[in-house]
Amino acid sequence: MAKVAIIGASGYTGAELIRLINHHSDFTIQALVAERNAGKFLSDVFPNFRHLDLPKITNVNELDVSDIDLVFSALPHGTSQEVISQFSDSVPIVDLSADFRLKSSAVYEKWYGASHVAPHLLNEAVYGLTEFYRDDIKATRLVACTGCNAATGLYALLPLLANDVIAKDNIIIDLKTGVSGAGRSPKQAILHAELSEGTQAYNVAQHRHLAEFDQELSKVAGQPVTVTFVPHLVPQNRGILATIYVRGDSRAIYNCLHSRYRDETFVHLLPIGEHPSTRHVRGSNFVHIGVVPDRRGDHVMLLAVLDNLVKGSSGQAIQNANLMMGLNETTGLLSPPLFP
């Protein structure tokens, strides 16, 4: 059994890591770290874990990584880089924050408004979109898990740009996301009275996941690709639906995605014309993608759904950790979606 530590255990992604690892045959939780809740039992923070036998929450200064085989860092961006830069080079780390996703410290500073404190680790970190970086993930000690919004769009677009089957301009990503993507810290905009019975766009034209789209889409296309990305907050706890508008032949697009994902466990392409729903992936590590031809012959709508807390974050983190530890990447992640 690999002994794992979860830093940031009192947030939503930390809690999701705990829930998933509880069913993992090869991981056991050795340490839980959460600065503001140090000294408490996890059941004091999350009563739904009352039945689990878990270690008491500590602060990061008490964490002895010499007794840890793997670290999950579920800290906010800006905080994660400071903590991770202090760890020994020998401990494998899966980071769920944005701190190591971008390869350029200048780009990081542009989008996150602060200098990076560990720029020497940016080139070492592997972008954690598992299905596209498996070999690199197996060989690294630091994985930077993707943004949940970015992952949803990238699963639909990367194979198409890599194989030149869609136009590289005028790509529009219209995305709806559940409120848990905003984190657990109290904010006025996500109070029930503020959010319920309404839908709103946020961070229009300036969402930080645009940097990930720029980096990853341009890389596979071999030229700069700039997308229009508009995220919307919807009154549900979890789940992301991206509707992506592209130009190309619908059958060629479908065949390309089918060829790329037919052997993938967690990415499912629906029959052409069928569109997915977030309720069909809720609580799971699965992605569903649909291809719907527009009435205009050269326009196509791609629809992708995933659970932002699982495949968009904690499930992806465990999938990557499995590869880093030499395990089957599906270990602990094959539970079917929750329904209803």
Catalytic residue among 7, 71, 148, 157: 148
Euclidean distance between CA atoms 9 and 333, whole angstroms: 19
SS3 143: strand
One-letter identity of residue 221: A
Nearest CA to 242 out of 121, 135, 183, 155 is that of 155
The sheet with strand 200-201 has its strands ordered as 200-201, 228-233, 172-177, 240-247, 299-306, 287-293, 267-269
CB contact at 8 A, 254 and 296: no
Euclidean distance between CA atoms 202 and 184, whole angstroms: 18
Euclidean distance between CA atoms 242 and 175, whole angstroms: 4
Who's near 43: CB < 8 A, 6+ residues apart?
Answer: 49, 50, 52
What's the DSSP call for residue 200? E
Nearest CA to 151 out of 106, 181, 112, 124 is that of 181
Please say if 256 is a catalytic residue.
no
Tokens of 163: 């194989």
Q: Which residues are catalytic?
A: 148
